[in-house]
Structure formats: C-alpha cells, structure tokens
Amino acid sequence: MITGSIVALATPMKTSGEIDWEALRRLVGFHLDNGTDAIVAAGTTGEPTTMSFAEHFDVIRTVVEEVRGRIPVIAGTGANATSEAVELARYAKDVGADYCLSVCPYYNKPTQEGLFQHFKAVAEGGDLPVILYNVPGRTCSDLYNETVFRLAEVDNIVGLKDATGNLERAEELVERLRDTGFALYSGDDPTACEFMLMGGHGDISVTANVAPHAMHELCRAALAGDTELAHQLNTRLMPLHTALGVEANPIPVKWGLNRMGYADSGIRLPLTWLSEKYHSTVGEALQLAGVLDD
C-alpha cells in the first residue's frame, strides 16, 4: 500500500500548448529530490482530457521511465467510456505503472450499479491495481460509500481517492474499511490533514506540485499521529491550499510552477492562464509556504 504525499502531477507545456517533455522529466526529479512518496501521471491536474491518446500514453511512459522504480507511479486512466478506461489501464500496465487511478465516468451520469460495473470491468480488463477516484464536483457522478464498500471486495480494486472534502463520509469509510488493506486517500488538500489523522493513508495532492517537501512532512506527521505537528504544518500550508483553488485546477498550480522556474506558461484550452487579479494571491501563498522567495 502506498502511504504519504502523492503528487497529482501537472504536465508542463510550452506557451504554444505543446507538452514540454524536458520540463516534465525535470519536474519528476524535483519530486524525487523532495520526498514525494508517489506520483500520479496524467491525472486531473495533468490535463489528460485535452490530450490525444498518444500524448496520454507518452506522459505515463515518460514518468515511469524517469522514476525508474524509485517511487510508485499511478497512471491516470479514467474515461467516461468503460472500454477506453480499460484500454488506458492496459497501456499503463504495459509501460510499467504500478497502479491506475480511475475516475468516475463524467458527463453521462451513470447509476450506482453502472459505476460498480464500470470499475469492475476496469479491474478485470486492465490487469493493474485500481484506485477509485470520486470527485463529484467535476464529474457530476458521485460514488456513494455503499458502492465503495461493494467495490472494495472486488479483486484488483485496492483503494479510493475521495475528493469530496466531506469528512463525515471519510469517517464512515475509515471505520468500515479499517484493517481491510483497502487504501483511503484524500483528494482535497484543505481537509487532507484531518482525513489522515482519522485513519486515512495519504493525500493525492495538488499542493504537492509546488510544495513537495512540506506536503511530505505534513503527511508523515499526520500518519504518525503527531496531531500537534500535523496541525502546525497544515496551518502554514492552508493559504496555499486555498489559493490553488481560486480558479479551476490546474490553472493556479501551473502559474506557481512557472513562477518557480519549473514550467513554461503553457496550458490548453478551454483552460486559460491564471487571471492577473489572482497573481498576488497565489504568489503570496507560495511565499508564506516558503517555496518562493519573492
């Protein structure tokens, strides 16, 4: 089981919108040097919905090659067509990813039974351990806890990224799945500290893109049950958690990576570069977190 700070890696792009492969490799190195415990390649923050299949495959492959087995790689393989999600998972397996992260199908709004059958098909057809990903704010498809409990009994489904930010739901998940070996990850940085303190196993984090060492230390403290230190670290990071949500992810985090010198100012439509009115907000939060000097 993966534990700790898992970065939902942004995909560096040139101003033209082309993927910057050299910058992607440097960014992986940045995380290896700063304690990130695992990397999600081509997850939501990586903008896979704007990529061709070939680009999506190549992002996963490049991250796997650059990591060289030093930490686990989780491939973002979600799709709103079950057959496509299976195909992406198979490819991720072929190039050496350790897990796949499969989001609830978006836009077509399946029933709970449809979600169960979708993820069961991915687990059976993809031949790669599946981490479920529930983010109803983006998908309009909410994976209910009762469906998670059913899916936790399916072979090859090993965990959940819960990005609801709902700690009451998280508490029920922790209580029902405690000691089963099923991994529970927060996907909501502002509530991730409390999620881990109540028994979650880590945070699949946007904030870790720009503050990898700080997020690693926060997760380590929370997982060790050091409530005082975890809250102290989280208080310092909270302005950054908040600032990285002023516009849709990954807009603010890509602006932050650009300010830090790790990426060009590339993003793909329909997303646009961070609005000027938010530059000071995000910049000041980066300074408060200690990852930007000025």
Active site residues: 133, 161
Query: Under 8 Å CB-to-CB from 93, ≥6 apart: which residues?
Result: 100, 126, 127, 128
Cis check for the bond before 270: say yes or no (omega within 30 of 0): yes
CA gap 108, 92 in Å, rounded: 24
Residue numbers belonging to the annotated binding site for pyruvate: 45, 204
Residue numbers belonging to the annotated binding site: 45, 204
Q: Tell which residue, 293, 265, 259, 264, has the closest CA to residue 279.
A: 259
Q: Is 96 exposed, middle or buried (0-12, 13-18, 19+ CB in 10 A)?
A: middle
Q: 182 phi and psi, to 5 degrees?
A: -85, 125
CA gap 68, 164 in Å, rounded: 32
- 188, 198, 228 from 3: Cα distances, Å: 16, 14, 20
Is the torsion defined by CA of 178, 182, 187, 193 positive or negative?
positive
CA gap 92, 64 in Å, rounded: 9
CA gap 19, 17 in Å, rounded: 6
